[in-house]
Amino acid sequence: MTVQVLLNILGMLIILFILYSMQKRFASFTKRVFAALGLGILFGLLLQFVYGSGSEVIKLSVDWFNIAGNGYIKLLQMVVMPLVFISILSAFTKATLSHNIGKIGGLIIGLLVGTTAIAAAIGIGASLAADLQSLQLDQGAKEVAQLEKIEKTLGNLENMSAPQKLVELLPGNPFLDLTGARPTSTIAVVIFSAFLGMAYLGVKRKKPDQADRFAKMTDALYTIIMRVVTLILRLTPYGVLALMTKIAATSDLNAIWRLGKFVLASYVALLIMFGVHLLLIALSGLNPLTYVKKAIPVLTFAFTSRSSAGTLPLNVQTQHKELGVPEGIANFAGSFGISIGQNGCAGIYPAMLAVMVAPAAGIDATSPTFILTLIAVVAISSFGVAGVGGGATFSALIVLSTMNLPVALVGLLISIEPLIDMARTAVNVSGSMTAGLLTSKVTKQLDMGIYGKHAGAEDSIPPLQNL
C-alpha cells in the first residue's frame, strides 16, 4: 500500500467522522444523507483531479472505500428477500390484505405497467427531439468486452418464448428464489408469500388456534427483521459517501462529455417522468410537494446506490411511516416495484435505445406503428427486470431483440452507464412509491393524518429522522 492510498483512506475516515459527529449532534437523517452526497462528490472529483480516473492509486483506494460502500449494499441485499417474504406474509396475518388483495395487487401492477408505458413514450419523444439517431459512439476495449457479454446473455433470452418468460415468474423452487438467484426471484417470493398468506386465511377459518400460533410467530419474525432493517439503515449516510466518492472518482469525464447529448436527453426524459408521478399524485387530490419532501431521502439513496432492491427497506418504511400508506400496500408496491414496471430502467432507457438503432435496421422511428408497437413491447417486457445494477441492460436486450433491432448499442454506452443509472434508479423507486400511494388513495386506506404532517415534525413518528 502506497503513501497516496493511505492518505486517501485517511481522508475518507475524516469525512466519515464528520458524518458521525453530525449524528451525535442529532442532525436529521435527510441532512446527513445530503451532506454525504455532496462530500462524496467533492472528494471523488478531487481524487480524480489529482490522480486521474484510471490510475492505480484510485483503483486501490476505491477497493478500501468499497468496504463502506459495497459493504452497505451487501447488507441491504442481505435483508431484501427476508423483508419481502415476511412483509407480504404479515400483511395477511395482520388482516391488512385479507379482503381486497386482488384489487390492491391489480391496481399496483396496473399503475407500474401503465406508468412504464408512459415512460416509454417519453423516452421515444426525448430520443427523437434530441436526434440521437445521429450520435456517433466509440468502441474501445471496455465496449468490446461488454458486447461479448451481451451476446452471451442475448442467446439465453432469445431461446425463451413470451409464455416461457411468464412461467419464469412463478416460484418453482421458493428456497432458490429466497437467495435472489434469478432476475424474477422477487416476484416469485411475493407469489410464494401470497400463497402462504391465503393458506393462513383458510386455516384461520377451520383451525383458529393453529392459525393464531402461526400469526404470533410471523409477527415476532417481522419485528426482528424490521429491527435488522433499522440497524442497516442507520449506516445509510456512510454508504452514500463511499458510493458517491467511487462514482465521482472513477467516472470517465471525457466519455461523459462526448456522450453529453445522450446523457442530457436521458436526464430530461427522467425529470419529465418524475413530473408525471407528481401530476398523478396531484390529480388524486394529494399535495405533490409533501410527497417530494418526504421521498427525498429515499430517492437520494436510490440515486447513489443504483439499486432498487437495496432501496426497498427505506422505500417501504417511508411509504408506511411518512406517507401514510398501509403496511400491506407499501410492501406490495415496494416488492413489485423491484421487478415490474421500472419506469427508468425498463421504460425510458430501452425505448430511447430502440429509437436510436431503428434507422440502422431500415425502420422509420417516427412511424406510428413502430412507436405504438415499441410502447406495448416495453410495457410487457417490464416484468422481471432485476432490481440491482444491470437491470436496464437486461430490459434493453429484451426489448431490442423482441423488436428485431441490433443490440450492440447497449454495450457501446457502458462508459456513461453509472451516471445515467443513478437517475434511472431514483425514477424506478419513485414509480413504486407513487403506485403504493395512489393505490392507498383509491382504496381509501391512506392515512391522511400521517401524509399531511410536516416531514420531521416533533409530533410525527418518522423513523428516518431518528436513524
Alpha-helix runs per DSSP H in 94-234: 101-129, 141-158, 162-167, 174-177, 185-206, 208-233
The answer to whether residue 462 is domain-embedded is no
Tell me how far apart the alpha carbons of residues 174 and 322 are, in angstroms, rounded to a whole number. Answer: 32
Half-sphere exposure of 450 (CA within 13 A, CB side): 20
Tell me how far apart the alpha carbons of residues 322 and 294 are, in angstroms, rounded to a whole number. Answer: 7
- Can you tell me whether residue 383 is helix, strand or coil? strand
Tell me how far apart the alpha carbons of residues 348 and 121 are, in angstroms, rounded to a whole number. Answer: 8
Distances (CA, A) of 2 to 15, 44, 189, 399: 20, 18, 46, 47
Q: Which three cell numbers stand for residue 459?
A: 409530533
- Can you tell me whether residue 183 is helix, strand or coil? coil
Q: What are phi and psi of 2, to 5 degrees?
A: -85, 170
> Can you give the residue range of the structural domain that contains 77?
3-455
The answer to whether residue 17 is domain-embedded is yes
pLDDT (0 to 100) of residue 90: 82
Q: Which three cell numbers stand for residue 16?
A: 466519515
The answer to whether residue 466 is domain-embedded is no
H/E element holding 434? helix 417-442
DSSP annotation of 271 reads: H
Tell me how far apart the alpha carbons of residues 435 and 330 are, in angstroms, rounded to a whole number. Answer: 9
pLDDT (0 to 100) of residue 461: 34
- Can you tell me whether residue 96 is helix, strand or coil? coil
Q: 210: domain CATH number?
A: 1.10.3860.10
pLDDT (0 to 100) of residue 458: 36
Evaluate the CA torsion angle 41, 44, 49, 50 in order and state its sign: positive
Please count the structural domains in the chain.
Answer: 1
- Can you tell me whether residue 340 is helix, strand or coil? strand
The answer to whether residue 108 is domain-embedded is yes
Distances (CA, A) of 104 to 40, 196, 205, 289, 320: 40, 17, 22, 25, 15
Evaluate the CA torsion angle 434, 436, 439, 440 in order and state its sign: negative
259 touches 413 (CB < 8 A): yes
Cα angle value 414/383/267 (rounded, 5°): 40
The answer to whether residue 140 is domain-embedded is yes
Residue in 348, 358, 345, 369 with CA at minimum distance from that of residue 400: 358
The answer to whether residue 302 is domain-embedded is yes
Amino acid type, 230 = T
Q: At what angle do helices 417-442 and 327-339 cross, to 10 degrees?
A: 150
The answer to whether residue 165 is domain-embedded is yes
Cα angle value 26/430/116 (rounded, 5°): 170
Tell me how far apart the alpha carbons of residues 104 and 414 are, in angstroms, rounded to a whole number. Answer: 38
Q: What are phi and psi of 341, to 5 degrees?
A: 60, 45
State the pTM of this model.
0.78
* Residue 17 CB-density burial (10 A; 0-12 exposed, 13-18 middle, 19+ buried): exposed
Strand partners, 340: 383
Q: What are phi and psi of 280, to 5 degrees?
A: -65, -40
Per-residue pLDDT of the chain (467 residues; tens, 9 = 90+): 789 999 999 999 999 999 999 988 888 887 888 899 899 999 999 999 898 877 889 999 999 999 998 898 888 888 888 888 887 888 788 766 556 777 888 899 899 999 999 999 999 999 999 888 755 555 555 545 555 555 555 555 555 666 766 677 788 888 888 887 776 777 788 888 888 988 998 898 889 899 999 999 998 998 898 888 888 888 889 998 998 899 888 877 776 776 788 889 999 999 999 999 999 999 999 999 999 999 998 998 888 888 887 788 889 889 988 999 988 888 888 888 887 878 988 899 889 988 888 887 888 888 999 999 999 988 887 776 655 555 677 777 778 877 888 776 666 676 677 788 889 999 999 999 999 999 999 988 899 999 987 654 433 334 454 56
Alpha-helix runs per DSSP H in 159-207: 162-167, 174-177, 185-206
Q: At what angle do helices 3-24 and 29-51 cross, to 10 degrees?
A: 170
Amino acid type, 188 = A
* Cα 209 → chain centroid: 40
